[in-house]
Amino acid sequence: MTGSFPEEFLFGAAASAYQIEGGVTDGGRGPSIWDTFSHQPGNTHQGDSGDVAADHFHRFREDVQLMKDLGLQMYRFSISWPRVMPDGTGRVNQEGLDFYRALVEELLAAGIEPMATLFHWDLPQALQDAGGWPQRSVAGAFAEYATVVYRALGDRVSWWSTINEPWCAAFLGHASGVYAPGVRDPAAAFAAAHHLLLAHGTAVQAMRAEGIGRHGIPLNPAPVRLGRSDEPDVLNGARVIDGLRNRLWLDAILAGAYPADVLENASRFGGLPVEEGDMAVIAEPLDWLGINYYHDLTVDRAGSSESQLGGGMHPGAEAVTEVVEPGPLTDMGWPLTPTGLYDLLDELRLRYPGLPPVMISENGCAYDDPFQPDGTIVDQRRIDYLDAHLRQVLRALEDGIDVRGYLVWSILDNFEWAEGYSKRFGLVHVDYATQRRTPRESASWYRSLIETRGLSG
Ligand code: GCO
């Protein structure tokens, strides 16, 4: 697939607060569940935490200059809830708001459109102590926080992203427990899922009451494919996984109802705690839908594959698991499935008549290519990955699917959650001992793409 991207198409990059900021006790910031979780032995690679990360809290002007040098048109960052409201509700930390104001002004001065994500998993610990996402009250607290942030930045930020990958926060955080808060309770995961969605809709409504903006949510759906087995229990397991990863979220937000099979599966674990009026709030119309895409999902009978990814993250699908078919993998052990991005966009267009404009709000890969003797980093595999996925975006555009932009994950190497600093996703390499930034070859490639706005043969 070759061709040019539309004139208004936005090329950018993304990151998140806990993964790059550091400064976890600076500027009045309160603790988040990731501060707690990462300091509990065994939860992260070699005990890594976001205490310092890429020190973006202190180096953000240098980092924005790097983004300007790349010619980025948009930068998606996240706002640390506990940096703005250390207790989660009530008290506002003006130093925290001032940091994000300074970041936004720096971006705008560099000609870069800011996209602010309100929640990228770093829930204030104080709210976790009060029950966390399984408690319905967190949705109201989130709307209060969203209003505080909108009043501070709404005159300068027009692209608003509510909750990053709520599936991860709900099921990796509360079912498999491999992410913060490290809970292993499917009932808590389903309750968290519903309250994350309720928080999303409530916050969009609250911000719209304050003023204008383009509101969306970055989800991480993926095509679910079958491995070698197609026996009935495997087919059912695949449908459960498709329900949990994709349709629970997309149907609620775009169609205002949970699918019957998702409700049936959830009922085995205490159900989704829907109250009167909730679904209308969750289905608050959006200006854009974010798609964080990395690879598609292949499902096979549990225990019958070369390598299995995770367990316990799909309540009700215990007979099956995600598997990785033989083939090239990124450093995360993820397969290379670029056509899955087109297939996903095509499925969304067909399944959801009310599909709003799409932003590819994350796409990228982890590779740790070495420094060359001349100090450069030739990361051809990352270039090939980005090129292949962007060609699928071109294919979707040619096919009439309304994609508005593409954000590389990530601008900088950063804290990759349970994997800590062992996995590198950055267009720009970070030496964590010195905090020295080194743009990789892929950064130069991306700059050229942004300049030419096209992909040749
Ligand atoms: C996610 C998160 C990012 C990850 C990235 C690589 O999509 O899981 O938004 O925080 O770091 O996706 O896993």
From the CB of 122, is ligand 1 less than 6 Å away?
Answer: no
In this prediction, what percent of the chain has a pLDDT beyond 90? 94
Please state whether 223 falls in left (phi above 0), alpha (psi between -120 and 50) or beta: beta
In this prediction, what percent of the chain has a pLDDT beyond 70? 98
From the CB of 159, is ligand 1 less than 6 Å away?
Answer: no
Supply the residue whose CA is at minimum distance from atom 11 of ligand 1.
416
Pick the closest to residue 418 from 126, 19, 81, 20 (CA basis). 19
Q: What is the DSSP string of 335-396?
A: B--THHHHHHHHHHHHH-TTPPPEEEEEE-----PPBPTTS-B--HHHHHHHHHHHHHHHHH
Q: Are 269 and 298 in contact (CB under 8 A)?
A: no
Ligand 1 mean position, distance from CA 453 (Å)? 26
Looking at residue 433, its pLDDT comes to: 98
Per-residue pLDDT at 303 exceeds 90:
no
Catalytic site residue from 21, 165, 322, 416: 165
Looking at residue 307, its pLDDT comes to: 45
State pTM to two decimals: 0.97
Per-residue pLDDT at 306 exceeds 70:
no
Q: For residue 311, what pLDDT band results from cuts at 50, 70 and 90?
A: low
pLDDT in tens, 32-72: 999 999 999 999 999 999 999 999 999 999 999 999 999 99
Supply the residue whose CA is at minimum distance from atom 5 of ligand 1.
409
pLDDT in tens, 204-218: 999 999 999 999 999
pLDDT in tens, 217-246: 999 999 999 998 889 999 999 999 999 999
Q: How far is CA 18 from CA 22, 82, 290, 362, in A?
A: 7, 10, 20, 16
